[in-house]
Amino acid sequence: MRRHKDVQRIYGYHLPQQRLTLWATVYFLVYFAAPLLLVLLGLDVLLYVVFRYGFDSCYGLLCLLN
């Protein structure tokens, strides 16, 4: 098993170490983080509507403001 600090060589050429690039960060945000946040926001709005108008009660942190 290779350690992280070992230098990898192919045909005598030193390869740069693996790193997180700007494009990897952009893809992570666009294809994972943003859809996840949108789904969670939709669930939060749905639960707010159900509790507010279905059960006529407060929901989440809004209860602390009253």
Distance between CA 66 and CA 45 in Å, rounded? 19
Q: What is the pLDDT of residue 26?
A: 97
> Are the beta carbons of 38 and 29 closer than 8 angstroms?
no
β pairing state of 13-14 and 9-10: antiparallel
Distance between CA 5 and CA 33 in Å, rounded? 30
Average pLDDT estimate for 12-31: 90
Q: For residue range 38-54, what is the model confidence (pLDDT) as tens digits?
A: 999 999 999 988 988 99
Average pLDDT estimate for 27-36: 97
Instruction: Please name the residue ranges forming H helices in the chain.
Output: 22-28, 34-49, 62-65
Q: What is the pLDDT of residue 9?
A: 79
State the Rg of the chain over Cα: 24
